[in-house]
Structure 1
Amino acid sequence: MKFEEKTVDKKLLYKGKIIELNLHRVKLPNGKESSREIVNHPGGVAILTYKNDDTLIMVEQFRKPLEKTILEIPAGKMEKGEKPEVCGRRELEEETGYKAKTFKYLGKIVTSPGFCDEVIYIYEARDLYKGRNDIADEDEFINLKEIKTDKIKDMIKSGEIIDAKTVSSFMFI
């Protein structure tokens, strides 16, 4: 049995700076109809940023939806038409002030496929060198943290690291 759902109607409920919310009326595989609230997101890139072989550069950032500061790998939203690698290199420099001689694609994840189409591409950055540190987004406040790679698994297990893209990226190490 195919589990495909065909969209029979789509209504834009909200269009913001980053996301759109659409209400889809769908025909289910059994012939009945239902509705789906779908968040459309342009996608993003996350970067495992190696200061050296056993140390990662991570970012500490306040996340309003959670009302707390969390630890994440550097990441950011893709601009319309932007290629993932171009976005990743841009975000690496914006968030950390570093560029990377080695920038390798590792894989991709979908964050919440039950309601959102966001795809995050994961890269590894090595052989860092100083870039510009004056190009950060004006509404983004970040603390850089150097974390030893052998501590990360324990930090995930203890709940110190809870960000899904960050946790998922460590599957590639």
Structure 2
Amino acid sequence: MTDDQREAEWPVHDSTVTWETEYFDAGYDRVERPGGERANYYWLSPGDSVSIVAVHEGEVVMVEQYRPRQRERFRSCPVGAVDPGESFEEAGRRELREETGYRAAAVELLQRYYSEGWLRKERGVVFADGLTPGEQDTDEGEFVDVVTVPVEEAIETARGEPTNGWTLTPLLLAREEGLL
């Protein structure tokens, strides 16, 4: 079945934006289900983001920071927004440099995926190596500590509470690709 055929089975009769901010839009689509009934499907539409798995001298480069939305301190892979016109690889290289100071000689896109069913955004997972240490260049209001973890402890570290998908999923993908 093609995407056009699927969309014909689930026609969108109306799309409403109920809230707009500089970071995301929120709204809903009025969709007709295959049985004929109509329902609202709510969504958030932030920009795409990237998680970076970076390895330097047998250590995974991570960041540690307090996340006010979750009210938790996380140790995680560097993660950030993909700017308009930027590829996941370009964003990964830039975010790694800004958050950690490390510059990557090579980056490789491992995967693109939708992290949540109600989010209209993709997350890219980028692997970075050939790293050169440097100075952080964080955004205003970003308070990030750089930490490194031995490769063999990275997944165990990511599974420690609190656990998040912007770290565990990328590390598992990198391990599956034989990069960890």
Q: Percent identity at matched positions?
A: 24
**In the alignment, is the contact (CA less than 8 A) between 1:122 and 1:169 conserved in 2?**
yes
- The residue identity in structure 2 corresponding to 1:148 is P
Q: Which residue of 1 aligns with 2:29?
A: 24
User: 5+ residue gaps in structure 2?
Assistant: 176-180
**In the alignment, is the contact (CA less than 8 A) between 2:27 and 2:42 conserved in 1?**
yes
Q: Which residue of 2 aligns with 1:122?
A: 125
Q: Distance in 1 between matches of 2:120 and 2:110?
A: 20
Does structure 1 residue 55 correspond to structure 2 residue 82?
no
Q: Which residue of 2 aligns with 1:165?
A: 166
Does structure 1 residue 104 correspond to structure 2 residue 108?
yes
Q: Which residue of 1 aligns with 2:48?
A: 43
Runs of 4+ in 1 over 6 A off after TM superposition: none
Q: Distance in 1 between matches of 2:53 and 2:43?
A: 29
Among 147, 150, 154, the alignment partner of 2:149 is: 147
Q: Which has the higher strand share?
A: 1
Q: Cα deviations across residues 100-133 of structure 1 (Å, max 9, x unaligned)?
A: 11211111221112x1122111111111113443
Q: Secondary structure at the match of 1:95?
A: helix
Deviates more, 1:4-13 or 1:92-101: 4-13
TM-score in terms of structure 1 length? 0.89
Aligned length: 169
Q: Secondary structure at the match of 2:93?
A: helix
Q: Distance in 2 between matches of 1:128 and 1:92?
A: 10
User: What RMSD over aligned residues (CA atoms) do the two structures have, in Å?
Assistant: 1.8
Among 7, 14, 23, the alignment partner of 1:9 is: 14
- The residue identity in structure 2 corresponding to 1:122 is V
